[in-house]
Amino acid sequence: MSITLNLAKIKCMNIHEEIKILLVKECKSMARVLRELREKGIKMPLSNNISSKFRNGTIRFSEVFNILDHLGYKITITKK
């Protein structure tokens, strides 16, 4: 399954809400996903820090990419 991001609508999208929905679908918690990523050697923040990053709008693309990739999703960017 892939997620297509329409860059024209990116301002309206709340990626935190989208990831929370995917976490429920995959029956995983954010803390579990972050722990599993760190166990794989991928540098990821702790769950309370990532929540702050989402809230403050400071989350990195690579962090979102790694979370989605771990859940089995991909980001597709297409030209309009």
Distance CA 24, CA 39 (A): 21
pLDDT string in tens for the chain (80-residue length) = 555 555 444 443 588 888 999 999 999 999 999 999 999 999 998 888 888 888 888 889 999 999 999 999 988 888 87
Alpha helices in 1-80 (DSSP H): 15-25, 30-39, 47-56, 61-71
Structural domains of the chain, count: 1
Its domain, for residue 26, covers: 2-77
Identity at 6, one-letter amino acid code: N
Q: Which residues contact 67 (CB under 8 A, 6 or more apart)?
A: 19, 30, 33, 34, 37
Report the alpha-carbon distance of residue 39 to residue 33 in Å, rounded: 10
